[in-house]
Structure 1
């Protein structure tokens, strides 16, 4: 009960902070639209194509989630370290990993509202039509689990190396260019396709397109192994990211640098 209450409190606090910075949220929506339109011009060879924009929207929306979650988990820890309150979080009877997940839920809720508003504006502005399928929600949730694990990896690195803003930015940019948002992974060189499919969002983008654009049923995706690959990949990222984060916590404590920035 204490764990659930703490996670809910962290979620509520995060929502209050997001509400107090509404203007920043508005600017984020504007930036989303500008970047998405620019990608559309690039992938369309200087022209806006409704079909290409539909293809890009799925990967771009999932990339937005990845960049917000990864940056949010890293920013929370660095902000606490700068304020000198990071060690107080580790004094809580609730594991710090669960506190981070609670804060990430708040980030996830605000991100969903922002991305939903952005998606509705894009669907209306570019006359995009997508047949929504319940299977896509399952695939999305499985992909999110892997993203949270990847966020734990970056958050753990923040505890050890402190100033890793460039690493978080590099990771976000790599996911945008390699998750198939702008170009199908099938058109990548073989070695690059292997790298791309090892990232936490690429397989999710592929399967979301299969369900939303090609209307493939879940059982077929399971039979061909693509869905089972996504499930195992997300379990690997979440479990591995959590273990790495715990190892980084122990290392920072042993070095006496947990609260340093």
Structure 2
């Protein structure tokens, strides 16, 4: 498994270096989109607008959305690209299982993308003048968010295996993810708090907003909920992907156009 991960990391590094201009363009688009929304909100609200820590929370949510969006599209996008280039079947007859191959590739690509996400965050903080806190305790809730994101990514990958083209569905999911990463479910109470804890990645995102935007201590009971949430969605995504893999192999339409 380590050999597979190192190979995928080398592949990702080569592609990243070869298409560096595209990566720089992605940083520019992400930061300019956020800053345009920020200027529009400031103009509409007038000179007396005071965001307070809400702007910090919005920045956290936007950067999380950028990160989760990359994770969600990594597996389904890889499946569609491999099918178009005619190399999808080679991945499924490798000594490793398909889920191991795609998970190793997604994690390797994510490690390379962390630098881009960090650059986007620093530029946004510099443009808005709002500097977030980065305690070491944010690693645990970030892992819960990534678990849920990879679960959704595998679920989208299962759709790509069966239906081949899922671009429109992926576009709809992008707006849903923006809602999940931006809405402050950690402030909900009563029955709505339970709903917020059931939404994918929402508990972990709420903890990150509390840590980075509001400088609150780590909420251990809420972290436990976030771990369960991320683990369940990850397990569900793996199960759906395994079912889709068995289905396309049984009907012999793995690489159909």
Aligned pair partner of 2:32 in 16, 31, 34: 34
Report deviation, 1:143. 1.4
Q: Partners of 1:28 and 1:189 in 2: how far apart?
A: 37
* The 10-residue stretch of structure 1 (27-36 or 123-132) with the greater mean CA deviation from structure 2: 123-132
Q: Partners of 2:60 and 2:175 in 1: how far apart?
A: 16
**Corresponding position: 1:233 with 2:235:** no
Report deviation, 1:200. 2.4
Q: Partners of 1:234 and 1:155 in 2: how far apart?
A: 18
**Corresponding position: 1:251 with 2:247:** yes
Matches within 5 A, 1:1-261: 3-41=1-39, 44=42, 45-46=44-45, 51=52, 52-179=54-181, 181=182, 183-185=183-185, 197-218=197-218, 221-222=219-220, 225-261=221-257
Q: Partners of 1:38 and 1:113 in 2: how far apart?
A: 23
* The 10-residue stretch of structure 1 (102-111 or 17-26) with the greater mean CA deviation from structure 2: 102-111
Q: 1:184 to 1:217 in 2, by over 3 A?
A: closer
Report deviation, 1:201. 2.6
Q: Partners of 2:76 and 2:250 in 1: how far apart?
A: 21
Q: TM-score, normalised by structure 2?
A: 0.89
8 Å contact from structure 2 (residues 197, 226) kept in 1:
no
Report deviation, 1:213. 2.9
- Ranges in structure 1 where 5+ consecutive residues have no aligned partner: none
* The 10-residue stretch of structure 1 (248-257 or 41-50) with the greater mean CA deviation from structure 2: 41-50
Report deviation, 1:131. 2.2
Q: TM-score, normalised by structure 1?
A: 0.88
